[in-house]
């Protein structure tokens, strides 16, 4: 019975939601407590905002560099949003998964759809809904000094993002932040117990049955 190592495949955990529904706060709380979980850092051609760090918030790259990565197949998914390019570099994700650790993705429905095509077996997708659009708008207005036009634009985008909730594996309404964090953690722990992710289980059971 010696020498059988029970490990597991890492998860690609996708959190999507309209902006303002609490996704970023949930993600941050998870990353603080889950040592096996790392955030996927996207590459983007947009300019850094004040306080954003290259390599931590995003990899800030030129359009030429981005297109080179696309051409070499170095992205798991990529998309153009509001005129800027965004993409998930493949290598860092694959290293983390191969080590039996999990990767958290903060991407929209389009990115999720692409991941579904490139890596369906490792993917676990969660959609977080706001309690109401009124509440969503209140949150968007309270957190920024955006113009009415910008808020309206974000609300349109939220509305469109929400139309894709039914493409996700799990869905819940973020009424209470602590409960929402617990929900995502619970989903992650349960998904780790899926038979399909148990590496070495076949050998373990076979060895046990031969011994018996």
What does the binding site for its own copies look like in residue numbers (CB under 8 A)?
1, 6, 127, 129-130, 132-134, 136-137, 155, 158-159, 162-163, 165-166, 168-173, 183, 186-187, 189-191, 193-195, 198, 201-202, 204-205, 208-209, 211-212
123/184 Cα distance (integer angstroms): 14
Question: Taking the complex as a whole, how short is the minimal distance between the CB of residue 168 and its own copies, in angstroms?
Answer: 6
Q: Which is nearer to its own copies, 144 or 205 (CB)?
A: 205
Q: Which is nearer to its own copies, 59 or 170 (CB)?
A: 170
Q: Which residue has the tokens 């038979």?
A: 195
Q: Which is nearer to its own copies, 42 or 125 (CB)?
A: 125
Question: Taking the complex as a whole, how short is the minimal distance between the CB of residue 117 and its own copies, in angstroms?
Answer: 19
Q: Which is nearer to its own copies, 123 or 136 (CB)?
A: 136
Q: Which is nearer to its own copies, 117 or 169 (CB)?
A: 169
Backbone torsions φ then ψ of 15, nearest 5 degrees: -110, 120
Question: Taking the complex as a whole, how short is the minimal distance between the CB of residue 120 and its own copies, in angstroms?
Answer: 16
Long-range contacts of the stretch 131-138 (C-beta < 8 A, 24+)? 131/173, 131/174, 131/175, 133/158, 133/159, 136/18, 136/20, 136/21, 137/20
Q: Are 40 and 104 in contact (CB under 8 A)?
A: yes
Question: Taking the complex as a whole, how short is the minimal distance between the CB of residue 156 and its own copies, in angstroms?
Answer: 9
Q: Are 124 and 105 in contact (CB under 8 A)?
A: no
Question: Taking the complex as a whole, how short is the minimal distance between the CB of residue 33 and its own copies, in angstroms?
Answer: 15
3-state secondary structure 123-188: EEEEEEECCCHHHHHHHHHHHCCCCHHHHHHHHHHHHHHHCCHHHCCEEEECCCHHHHHHHHHHHH
């Amino acid at each position: 019975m010696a020498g059988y190592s029970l490990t597991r495949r890492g998860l690609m955990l996708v959190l999507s939601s309209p902006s303002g529904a609490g996704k970023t706060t949930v993600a941050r709380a998870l990353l603080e407590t889950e040592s096996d979980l790392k955030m996927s850092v996207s590459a983007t051609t947009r300019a850094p905002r004040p306080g954003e760090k290259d390599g931590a918030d995003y990899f800030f790259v030129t359009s030429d560099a981005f297109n080179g990565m696309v051409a070499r197949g170095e992205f798991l998914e990529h998309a153009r949003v509001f005129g800027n390019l965004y993409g998930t570099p493949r290598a860092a994700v694959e290293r983390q998964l191969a080590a039996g650790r999990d990767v958290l993705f903060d991407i929209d429905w389009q990115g999720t759809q692409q991941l579904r095509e490139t890596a369906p077996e490792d993917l676990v997708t969660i959609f977080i809904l706001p309690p109401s659009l009124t509440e969503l708008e209140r949150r968007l207005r309270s957190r920024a000094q955006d113009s009415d036009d910008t808020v309206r634009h974000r609300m349109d985008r939220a509305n469109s993002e929400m139309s894709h909730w039914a493409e996700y594996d799990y869905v819940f309404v973020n009424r209470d932040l602590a409960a929402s964090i617990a929900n995502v953690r619970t989903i992650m722990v349960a998904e780790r117990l899926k038979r399909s992710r148990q590496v070495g289980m076949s050998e373990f059971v076979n060895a046990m049955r031969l011994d018996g």
